[in-house]
Amino acid sequence: EKKPKAKSEKKPKAKSAKKPKAKSEEKPKAKSEEKPKASAKEEPKASAEEKPAATAEEQPEASDKKPKKKKKKTPPPPPKPTINNASYFDIRVGKIVEVGQHPDAEALYLEKIDVGEEEPRQIVSGLVRYVPQDQMQDALVLVMCNLKPAKLRGIVSYGMVMCASETNGDERTVKLVDIPEGAQVGDRVTFPGLEGSPVPEMPKKRAEKLLPGFNTNAEGVCCWENTPLTLEAGVVSSDLKNAGLG
């Protein structure tokens, strides 16, 4: 009875101890060591993600340069006209709708003149000694409209009433010019044969150089040099011949 008991106890113990321990310890260790290696290989991927970030930073720099190129391509402003004749003056028919004494100057009129704009223009004229006030009221006159505004005794004048004038010794005569019948308020004077068109504002130095060219000829026609001041209704004239005009 003792012998069979010893054989049955030794065999199963030896088999069960060796086989399961060898399999369970070797396989999991091999797998667990390979997983961190795979994570170590993922590090270059992080560097690959940094490259698009660098290109994204470069894009704003490229966009900043585009507007600068557009500014360089803008065409230069058109050259300013060579103002060398009277066609660059803006001279219109106007009607004096209001006239009175300048509050601070006895020799000056303060006028409101309709030249075809939304509101009458305020104009100061030194005509008190030469043209009676009742002749000024409602008169059709020539107005130079694009002279630089000037302050006369504290009041800004936005134009000039054109008159013919002559001097005999100590006596000076000044008269309003004659507007042809049929002319309308706002009609603009032209200068046939002269190239140019009115500028928004006549430079002061150019105006001073060109203004002495205005005159009346031997027939009393108002001219700039030899070119008549012309309206659709006819030429502007004066009963003062070979006189100054301004």
**CATH domain 86-245 topology:** OB fold (Dihydrolipoamide Acetyltransferase, E2P) (2.40.50)
Question: What residues does 178 pair with on adjacent strands?
Answer: 237
| Residue 66 or 96, more confident | 96
Distance, in Å, from the CA atom of 83 to the CA atom of 194, rounded to the nearest integer, reads: 11
- pLDDT value of residue 161: 99
Q: What is the pLDDT of residues 23-59, one digit of tens each?
A: 444 444 444 444 444 444 444 454 444 555 555 445 5
| Residue 168 or 7, more confident | 168
Q: What is the pLDDT of residues 106-118, one digit of tens each?
A: 999 999 999 999 9
For the chain, the structural domain boundaries read: 86-245
Give Cα 21 distance to the centre of its chain: 93
Contact 214, 224 (CB under 8 A): yes
Buried b (16+ CB within 10 A) or exposed e, 123-135: bbbebbebbeeee
HEC per residue, 56-88: HHHHHHHHHHHHHHHHHHCCCCCCCCCCCCHHH
Residue 187 pLDDT > 90: yes
Report the phi/psi class of residue 225: left, alpha or beta, with left for phi > 0 and alpha for psi in -120 to 50.
left
pTM of the entire predicted model: 0.69
Pairing type for strands 155-157 and 150-152 reads antiparallel
Distance, in Å, from the CA atom of 178 to the CA atom of 241, rounded to the nearest integer, reads: 13
Contact 87, 195 (CB under 8 A): yes
Distance, in Å, from the CA atom of 203 to the CA atom of 31, rounded to the nearest integer, reads: 94
